[in-house]
């Protein structure tokens, strides 16, 4: 009986604290800088697929955080933009152009911008909670919609156009590490490795994200 009374007293004392640590929510904005490897377009009549036609990109997004006692969840919406890497594009067709006696630097390239709209949900697990800084591990999945502008090429006076293309609702998976900073405002910095299961070959990118949550 005495133990039951003590247990009841402890529950009564801890209940307000547990409620105070209940779920909380926050809304914020963030910016992304990314490096990437996206399969580029192939040219009709040329049996070759550009393995990596895009390099660094940038973007921005919004997020909604749900903070529980031991784990948090983040719903994010992002837009990313990449310009085609002309050097990589040319180098991919070096062997073909050389066999035709055409110097690679005579190939001009324009267009080909790649835009990605992504929606994802991630879990966040604190690694070492400290008063002003909290490192965390994160991982999640989502969907991505990709749109590539048409690409215009010209070499030795002859021009060609690679039509624009879209890929919708492609599954994404990501893992990463981050840190929450509480310096009067709630900031975070994180680095993730992400996969997009695009057509032809899986694409990857590494977003470095900095954001603020209100």
Helix (H, G, I), strand (E, B) or coil at 178: strand
User: What residues does each domain of the chain span?
Assistant: 23-213
Q: Which of 20-29, 84-93, 119-128 has the highest mean pLDDT?
A: 119-128
Share of the chain above pLDDT 70, in %: 84
Give me the pLDDT at residue 11, please.
40
Q: Is 7 exposed, middle or buried (0-12, 13-18, 19+ CB in 10 A)?
A: exposed
Average pLDDT over residues 10-30: 63
Give me the pLDDT at residue 62, please.
98
Give me the pLDDT at residue 43, please.
53
Identify whether the C-beta of residue 81 lies closer than 8 Å to the C-beta of residue 57: yes
The string of pLDDT tens digits covering residues 111-163 is 989 999 999 999 999 998 888 999 999 999 999 999 999 989 888 778 888 88
Share of the chain above pLDDT 90, in %: 50
Nearest CA-CA partner of 80 in 189, 213, 209, 169: 209
Identify whether the C-beta of residue 183 lies closer than 8 Å to the C-beta of residue 172: no
Average pLDDT over residues 185-192: 96
Q: Which of 30-34, 67-71, 131-135 has the lowest mean pLDDT?
A: 67-71
Is 130 or 181 the better-scoring residue by pLDDT? Answer: 181
Give me the pLDDT at residue 42, please.
60
Is 54 or 214 the better-scoring residue by pLDDT? Answer: 214
Give me the pLDDT at residue 51, please.
60
What's the topology of domain 23-213? Porin (2.40.160)
Q: Which residues contact 110 (CB under 8 A, 6 or more apart)?
A: 151, 152
- Enumerate helices (H) and strands (E) in the chain, giving the number of each: 3, 11
**What span, in angstroms and rounded, lies between the C-alpha atoms of 124 and 181?**
14
């Amino acid at each position: 009986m005495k133990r039951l009374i003590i247990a009841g007293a402890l529950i009564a004392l801890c209940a307000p604290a547990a409620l105070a640590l209940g779920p909380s929510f926050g809304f914020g904005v963030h910016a992304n800088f990314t490096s990437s490897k996206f399969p580029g377009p192939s040219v009709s009549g040329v049996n070759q697929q550009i393995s990596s036609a895009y390099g660094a990109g940038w973007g921005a997004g919004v997020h909604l955080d749900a903070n529980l006692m031991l784990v948090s969840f983040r719903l994010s919406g992002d837009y990313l933009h990449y310009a085609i890497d002309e050097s990589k594009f040319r180098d991919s067709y070096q062997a073909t152009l050389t066999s035709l006696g055409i110097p690679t630097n005579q190939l001009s390239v324009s267009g080909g911008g790649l835009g990605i709209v992504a929606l994802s949900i991630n879990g966040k697990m604190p690694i070492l909670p400290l008063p002003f800084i909290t490192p965390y591990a994160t991982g999640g999945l989502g969907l991505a919609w990709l749109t590539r502008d048409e690409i215009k090429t010209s070499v030795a006076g002859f021009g060609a156009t690679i039509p624009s293309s879209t890929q919708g609702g492609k599954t994404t998976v990501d893992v990463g590490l981050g840190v929450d900073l509480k310096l009067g405002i709630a900031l975070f910095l994180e680095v993730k490795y992400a996969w997009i299961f695009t057509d032809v070959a899986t694409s990857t990118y590494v977003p470095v994200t900095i954001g603020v949550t209100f």
